[in-house]
C-alpha cells in the first residue's frame, strides 16, 4: 500500500520526518519528496508550500508520480467554530473554496460551472480517524473546512466565511487537495490542529502555536497509519 502524507509548511511535516528518522529524498517539480517504509506501507511525505496552487500541484505529483493510493494531510488551521480551541483536532468532512467568486454571473460563492461547492472526504478514512481517536482517548471534531489564498485575521471576514459556507475551520490548502483527490478517485483525509482563531491576534497566535499544533496533528496521523491495513 502506498500512502502520501502532505503538509503545506515545513513545520507541518517536521514532526513526521523526526518520527520516521530514516528516509530517502527525491526531487521533483521544484519540491522535495521524502520516502520511507513504515511497517508494510510505502509512505511519501512532502510539504507543498503555502496556498491552493502549490497544494494542488503537490497532491497531483504524490498521486501521479509517487503512486499514492490514499492521501492524508496534516497541518494547522484557524478556528471559525467558537467551540474549537488552540490545539484541538478537526477532521474535514467536507471542504470548500471560500475565495472562489463568480457571483457576478449568478453563481453561488465557491462554485464554478461543471464543478461543485463542497468536496466530501472519504468515509472510510473518517471512520478510521474516529476509531483512532477513541483508542487514544482524544477528542477529534469533524466539520467543514474552508480554504482560500488568504491568511484570515479579521473577525468580520471569519464571520462571513462561517455564515456563507457553514465552516468550522479555515486554512489555505485543504480544498485544493480535496478537488485533486476527488477528480483522481484517491481517498483523502484532511486533519488540522487549531493554531489560532482567525481573529485580530491570529498572526501572533499562529507564530506561537504553529509548532505545537503541527505536532498534535502529525502524531495523530502516525497513529492512524497503524490502523490502516497495508
Q: What is the contact surface with ligand 4EH in residues (CB under 6 A)?
A: 8-9, 50, 76-78, 151-153, 170-173, 195-196, 198, 202, 206
84 close to 44: Cβ distance less than 8 angstroms: no
How far apart CA 131 and CA 128 sit, in angstroms, is: 5
Q: Which residue in 11, 12, 81, 173 is the catalytic one?
A: 12
Question: Which CB, 11 or 122, lies closer to ligand 4EH?
Answer: 11
Catalytic residue flag (residue 196):
yes
Dihedrals phi, psi of 226, to nearest 5 degrees: -65, -25
Catalytic residue flag (residue 122):
no
Distance of closest approach, residue 69 Cβ to ligand 4EH, in angstroms: 25
Distance of closest approach, residue 139 Cβ to ligand 4EH, in angstroms: 19
How far apart CA 192 and CA 221 sit, in angstroms, is: 10
Question: Which CB, 122 or 173, lies closer to ligand 4EH?
Answer: 173
Assign 102 to helix, strand or coil. Answer: coil
Distance of closest approach, residue 50 Cβ to ligand 4EH, in angstroms: 4
Q: Which residue in 88, 122, 182, 196 is the catalytic one?
A: 196
Question: Which CB, 75 or 94, lies closer to ligand 4EH?
Answer: 75
Distance of closest approach, residue 9 Cβ to ligand 4EH, in angstroms: 5
Grid cell digits, residue 51: 496556498
How far apart CA 26 and CA 198 sit, in angstroms, is: 35
Question: Which CB, 12 or 122, lies closer to ligand 4EH?
Answer: 12
173 close to 50: Cβ distance less than 8 angstroms: yes
How far apart CA 46 and CA 34 sit, in angstroms, is: 6
Q: Which residues are catalytic?
A: 12, 196
Amino acid at each position: 500500500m502506498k500512502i502520501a502524507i502532505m503538509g503545506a509548511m515545513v513545520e507541518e511535516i517536521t514532526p513526521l520526518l523526526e518520527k520516521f528518522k530514516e528516509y530517502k529524498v527525491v526531487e521533483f517539480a521544484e519540491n522535495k519528496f521524502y520516502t520511507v517504509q513504515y511497517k508494510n506501507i510505502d509512505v511519501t511525505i512532502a510539504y507543498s508550500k503555502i496556498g491552493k496552487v502549490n497544494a494542488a500541484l503537490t497532491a497531483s505529483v504524490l498521486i501521479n508520480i509517487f503512486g499514492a493510493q490514499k492521501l492524508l494531510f496534516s497541518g494547522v488551521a484557524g478556528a471559525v467554530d467558537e467551540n474549537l480551541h488552540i490545539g484541538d483536532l478537526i477532521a474535514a468532512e467536507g471542504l470548500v473554496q471560500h475565495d472562489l467568486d463568480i457571483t457576478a454571473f449568478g453563481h453561488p460563492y465557491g462554485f464554478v460551472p461543471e464543478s461543485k461547492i463542497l468536496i466530501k472526504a472519504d468515509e472510510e478514512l473518517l471512520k478510521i480517524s474516529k476509531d483512532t481517536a477513541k483508542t487514544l482517548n482524544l477528542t477529534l471534531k469533524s466539520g467543514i473546512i474552508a480554504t482560500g489564498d488568504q491568511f484570515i485575521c479579521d473577525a468580520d471576514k471569519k464571520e462571513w466565511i462561517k455564515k456563507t459556507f457553514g465552516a468550522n475551520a479555515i486554512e489555505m490548502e485543504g480544498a485544493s487537495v480535496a478537488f485533486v483527490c476527488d477528480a483522481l478517485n484517491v481517498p483523502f483525509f484532511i486533519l488540522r490542529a487549531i493554531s489560532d482563531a482567525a481573529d485580530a491576534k491570529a498572526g501572533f497566535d499562529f507564530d506561537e502555536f504553529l509548532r505545537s499544533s503541527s505536532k498534535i496533528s502529525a502524531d495523530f496521523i502516525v497513529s492512524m497509519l497503524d490502523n490502516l491495513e497495508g
